[in-house]
Amino acid sequence: MNTFLTARHFNAREELKEYVMNATSKLEKYYDNIIDCTVTLDYEKNNSQNGQHIKIVEIKVNVFNQLMKATEKSEHFEVAIDAAVDDLIKQLKKYKELKRDH
């Protein structure tokens, strides 16, 4: 599976890149025929007084005739990545079950 990583408005540190690659590689356990995976990391400034940025993670998984997408927001990239991967695991399981029934 090819994984493409895009960090908008910042340069992702090496640890974060490795974390993304390890997290997305888990998807292959649930469906073997994933064509590619695109991960986009972004942030938006929070309007709260502490000045924190809300991290946004969008993961798109391309399988045969299907595009699956998960978007999550959190105060930390790692939490948002894990939540998006969990969402995609559910989608892949459902897709695999539908393919098995046909």
The phi and psi torsions of 34 (rounded to 5 degrees) equal -75, 125
pLDDT for position 48:
59
Mean pLDDT of the region 61-79 = 94
C-alpha–C-alpha distance, residues 1 and 71, integer Å: 20
> What pLDDT sits at residue 98?
85
- Average pLDDT rounded to a whole number, residues 58-81: 95
pTM to 2 decimal places: 0.90
CA distance 20 to 54: 18
CATH code of the region 2-101: 3.30.160.100
61 C-beta neighbours (distance < 10 Å), count: 25
Give the whole-angstrom CA distance, residue 91 versus residue 50: 36
**CA–CA separation, 51 vs 54, rounded Å?**
10
Provide the residue ranges of all domains of the chain, joining segments of one domain with +: 2-101
